[in-house]
Amino acid sequence: MKHLQILAILLALALTAHAQNKSLQAKSAPNLTPTAIVKYGANYGFLKPDGKWQIPAQYREVNGGFVGGVAPIKLLDQWGYINKSADMEIEARFEGAWPFSEGLAHVQVGKLHGYIDRKGTDAIKPQFDDARDFHDGLAVVKKDGKWGIISKTGSFIVQPTYDTDGIGEYSQGLINVKIDGKWGYLNREGKVVIKPDFDEAYPIRNGYGRIRQGNKWGFTGVRLVIDVQPQHEAVEDFSDFLAAFFKDGRWGYIDKGNRAVIAPQFEVAGAFIDGLAPVMRDGKWGLINKLGKLVVETKYDEILPFNKSANLAPVRSENLWGFVDREGKLVIKIQYEQVFPFSKD
């Protein structure tokens, strides 16, 4: 009998421990449901792909979506961070707050800018005039009126010597900078690796950066050579292996070999994401595939790029927004004053 009682007690303890473990796992498991920031009435909230609220519209100001499980919101006159249950994870005590990037978030305390970690403690104490997000372990910051680049220790990799209009964004191992009136690129050590020969140069996106010489545009990139000689009237960044280019008053698309794969025919052309791109023809917007075929007819006043995390694209009709799927079906009713694409934390 005693053996049976002991076995029963051990079984009960095991079941209790298992239940507690499951409960802890459920509490610690991240909520990976994609969310979109939308403005409904005077307030902002967070919407799920089924059109239901993740967090109802209750905030006067938000600044970016969920990253690392938290999103920056403003309460009264201070900024803090909430989780997807609308609980305050990092108290509202900042004059400014931005989404987390690579484990750190840029915040403003008084007039100075610094970085906090996920617990809300100072990772790099506020000491800069301005700051930007970390990318590949580096961030562009402003100190004493000039811009430079720091590592996650807060040490300068590139001393603050650049004007506001003379430094871009560090991305994929390169940063665009202006030297003696011309633009080129530095590597992460601050060494010039693409000499400043350009009248304009933009951050690297998907391996390529837009460059302008005179009134012609082309691309350079991570191979540290000119990949597409400046020859186009205008270009946009590469995305999903294609880039929009402008010719004779219309936009089309080129591939990375500079071949026109979709002839210029659109008044405006957006970025391809997961095989679809927003375009405007005859004053109305639709979505095309990589063959240039319309998959969502041109009937909207605006369409933002398709988002693969939720398989939805924001669409605007007159002054209100909703969301359509890949076939053009209206999934979330057009009723919001402002929307941002879905993002998956």
Sequential pLDDT tens for the chain (345 residues): 444 444 444 344 444 444 444 443 444 456 678 999 999 999 999 999 999 999 999 999 999 999 999 999 999 999 999 999 999 999 999 999 999 999 999 999 999 999 999 999 999 999 999 999 999 999 999 999 999 999 999 999 999 999 888 999 999 999 999 999 999 999 999 999 999 999 999 999 999 999 999 999 999 999 999 999 999 999 999 999 999 999 999 999 999 999 999 999 999 999 999 999 999 999 999 999 999 999 999 999 999 988 888 999 999 999 999 999 999 999 999 999 999 999 877
143 shares its domain with 205: no
107 shares its domain with 182: no
Q: Give the list of residues 6+ apart from residue 310 with CB closer than 8 angstroms, or none.
A: 34, 36, 49, 323, 342, 344
In a domain, 294, yes or no: no
182 shares its domain with 155: no
In a domain, 8, yes or no: no
143 shares its domain with 210: no
144 shares its domain with 222: no
In a domain, 110, yes or no: yes
Which residue among 97, 129, 162 closes a domain?
162
- Domain of residue 124, CATH code: 2.40.128.630
The residue whose two tokens read 């008084």 is: 110
**Distance (Å, rounded) from C-alpha 100 to C-alpha 67?**
6
180 shares its domain with 242: yes
157 shares its domain with 178: no
In a domain, 197, yes or no: yes
In a domain, 314, yes or no: no
Q: Give the list of residues 6+ apart from residue 260 with CB closer than 8 angstroms, or none.
A: 245, 252, 253, 254
> Are 142 and 126 within 8 A, CB to CB?
no
154 shares its domain with 177: no
Which residue among 102, 127, 162 closes a domain?
162
83 shares its domain with 146: yes
In a domain, 308, yes or no: no
186 shares its domain with 220: yes
Number of domains the chain contains: 2
152 shares its domain with 198: no
Residue 92: domain span: 64-162
Which residue among 203, 221, 250 closes a domain?
250
In a domain, 112, yes or no: yes
146 shares its domain with 213: no
In a domain, 158, yes or no: yes
CA nearest 100: which of 90, 92, 85, 112?
90
